[in-house]
Amino acid sequence: MLDEPTLARPDEFPYDRSDPAGAIAQVAEQVRNWGRWGEDDRVGTLNLITPERRAAAAGLVRTGESISLSMSFDMDGPQTGWRRRTNPVHTMLDTGTDAVTGIQGFPHGIGGADDVIAMPLQCATQWDGLGHIFDRGMAWNGRPAESVVTSLGDLVTGIEHTADLIAGRGVLLDVGRVVGEAAEGAEGAEGAVGELPDAFAITPAHLEATAKAQGVEIQPGDLLLVRTGQMARARRSVAAGQGWSGYAGGAAPGLSFTTAGWLHAHDVAAVATDTWGFEVRPNEFDEAFQPLHQVCIPNMGLTIGEMWDLDALSAACAADGRWEFLLVAGALRVTGAVGAPLNPIALR
């Protein structure tokens, strides 16, 4: 654990906080991958997960331990209705009661249950697809946004194109554990050993310090997971009857805008966090909304994951000192979707 986890001081942020547009334009130019994998590319940095790297990742499975990194998909989730994002609504179509009362109409005593779920595709553990965010009217690979996503969906970079790609070497950087201090009341919470405070901006220095402390090296094509500990804190709040305490859209620790160049330089294939919005909130500019998204998705072509439950994985990795694993994390194959839910599995 580092000595004094602190919020980044204003003089450590290299951009004019009053000019997010200028900073976004500057950094987008520096990390832009347009054309790197051809003019017709649909999947961006996921191209970095080669068959050879995937085969090597399979060799990381030693004990066969399988850990789900998904939060629950139910009506008790964190969504508040902002921008019409609601929690899943699960409805039964057929039940055991229907079977016993004989109203299903099936012969020879057979009965069954059936159900349906209605939900926004990004209401719980999910990937942001490359059609999710635009930069000044442009989508991934330099395409005009209006030619990519229409009322029919994402016609070019729909999440279905990633369905068989997102499996490879996963690396957990547990910044909450290495940089954060143990939260009050965390002793009884699974995996909640270290947590970063809300508004904590995770810089490249924090990522490097965490990797060094864990003895792990980020390699090209990695699926990077960054744990802040915020979900553990939110889970305790729910258990105490206080709700999610602003988890969805509120203040949160997260990646600093300054990490864009680091992610690009390390050729990370995809990155996911245990927070609602991936990047630090409030954002680091005076008036801005998710500027790191605006750089990473349409310019770098980086797939971003949010609301991943990393606590059990954190505990397992800390127990044996192994922070790399095979990660299988294909999104639900929803044609034309700009994001999709999933149940990612870490195999150790």
| Domain regions of the chain by residue span | 16-83+121-347, 90-117
SS (H, E, C) 252-315: ECEECHHHHHHHHHCCCCEEEECCCCCECECCCCCCCCCHHHHHHHHHHCCEEEECECCHHHHH
pLDDT of 223 reads 98
> Percent of the chain at pLDDT above 90?
91
Q: How many CB atoms lie within 10 A of CB 171?
A: 22
Distance CA(67)–CA(64), nearest Å, equals 10
CATH of domain 16-83+121-347: 3.50.30.50
Residue 8: pLDDT over 80: no
Strand, coil or helix: what is 6?
coil
**Residue of 246, 236, 232 lying closest to 282 (CA atoms):** 246
- Reported residue count of the chain is 348
Question: Are 251 and 198 spatial neighbours (Cβ–Cβ below 8 Å)?
Answer: yes
Q: What is the mean pLDDT of residues 100-120?
A: 95
Q: What is the mean pLDDT of residues 112-125?
A: 97
Distance CA(177)–CA(171), nearest Å, equals 15
The CA-atom distances, in angstroms, between 295 and each of 8, 29, 31 are 21, 9, 8
Question: Are 237 and 245 spatial neighbours (Cβ–Cβ below 8 Å)?
Answer: yes
**Residue of 92, 112, 90 lying closest to 100 (CA atoms):** 112
Distance CA(303)–CA(291), nearest Å, equals 15
Token readout for 213 is 């402390």
The CA-atom distances, in angstroms, between 293 and each of 57, 93, 301, 311 are 28, 39, 10, 24
Task: Please give the span between the terminal C-alpha atoms of the chain, in angstroms, as a whole number.
Answer: 24
Burial per residue of 312-337, b for 16 or more beta-carbon CB atoms within 10 angstroms, e otherwise: ebbbbbbeeebbbbbbbbbbbebebb
> Percent of the chain at pLDDT above 70?
93
Q: What is the mean pLDDT of residues 45-71?
A: 98
pLDDT of 10 reads 47
pLDDT of 196 reads 96
Give the confidence band of 188 by pLDDT, cuts at 50, 70, 90: very low
Give the confidence band of 12 by pLDDT, cuts at 50, 70, 90: confident
Residue 230: pLDDT over 60: yes
**Residue of 133, 142, 136 lying closest to 41 (CA atoms):** 142
Q: What is the mean pLDDT of residues 46-60?
A: 98
pLDDT of 193 reads 61
Give the confidence band of 82 by pLDDT, cuts at 50, 70, 90: confident
| Cis status of the peptide bond prior to 120, with omega within 30 of 0 | no
Q: What is the mean pLDDT of residues 148-165?
A: 98
Query: Which phi and psi angles does 153 have, rounded to 5°?
Result: 110, -170
pLDDT of 11 reads 53
Average pLDDT, the chain: 93
Tell me the helix, strand and coil percentages in the chain, rounded to 5. Answer: 30, 20, 50
Distance CA(11)–CA(214), nearest Å, equals 29
**Residue of 284, 279, 282, 313 lying closest to 70 (CA atoms):** 313
pTM for this one? Answer: 0.93
Residue 20: pLDDT over 70: yes
Question: Are 291 and 27 spatial neighbours (Cβ–Cβ below 8 Å)?
Answer: no
